[in-house]
Structure 1
């Protein structure tokens, strides 16, 4: 496998894109299942930047996740992350970036599963020195939108379609 993206075969690029998608999926699944240590391992080599708060190192990232996510009796945040519009830029065999949108849904006692926050994940990945496997080097989630219950406006029905 060549190191320059212009020299990579289509198969090489697909393999790298698949690896990036797998890291993204592992991250959100770990969040939803409350697997703090697994995400700290995924992000161990990363500069973790969430809405301007920067954390680095496995232990600091694990502590940040424990302190800033609400966990329930079942040791999960009772969330469901949806990731969409994933764009992956393969720079070389040892570097790639990904950009995507996310929506976090949450279900609490007495409430249905509903969207609570949306935003973007921006990831820069590099191959580790120990091998060719890509690791997250920088993980950023810029400030996000928090959802509030929809309000109806005059001239619109609850579905958001203008009434005639």
Structure 2
């Protein structure tokens, strides 16, 4: 059975991911996945350094160091085992982007499926699965070799 503190800790991890992505702190994103796997539509990556490299190579950052995005995470559903040492979560996400010459718009929407584990009293990501269901204009958000790869990335 989970406690309110467990629920808050896991929910805060989900929110921290969105905050770090939107501020362009890809080292911070990687740190959230120290011993975890990040699985996107195009494959999987494991560990802090590999996840930081993936985001750095995939996501465009602008002069202010950010991708000029705003990730909104909704419909979070958490389930804890008993005793509460592992948990799973399901959530929706929508990514908005705005640039001086690009009006604010939704550019992607999908789902997160997460696994968490509690080690030494600290909740951590064990796995994040990102599935992109809807995409808009990603050309100003992701470095893509061609339009065919538009739906095969993992950054959400």
TM over 0.5: yes
User: Structure 2 length normalisation: TM-score?
Assistant: 0.83
Partners of 1:143 and 1:51 in 2: CA distance: 7
Structure 1 residues without counterparts, runs of 5 or longer: 1-7, 149-164
User: Moved runs in structure 1, 4+ residues, more than 6 A?
Assistant: none
Shift in Å at residue 73 of structure 1? Answer: 1.1
Name the counterpart of 1:140: 129
**C-alpha RMSD of the superposition:** 1.2
Deviations along 1:125-147, one digit per CA (max 9) or x if unpaired, are: 0122xx12111001110233102
Deviations along 1:24-76, one digit per CA (max 9) or x if unpaired, are: 00000000000111110011111110114100011111100101111111111
Deviations along 1:81-119, one digit per CA (max 9) or x if unpaired, are: 111111001113210111000000000122221100000
User: Structure 1 length normalisation: TM-score?
Assistant: 0.79
Structure 2 residues without counterparts, runs of 5 or longer: 138-156
Count residues with an aligned counterpart: 136
Mapping of residues 3-152 of structure 1, within 5 Å: 8=1, 12-92=2-82, 93-128=84-119, 131-147=120-136
More strand by share: 2
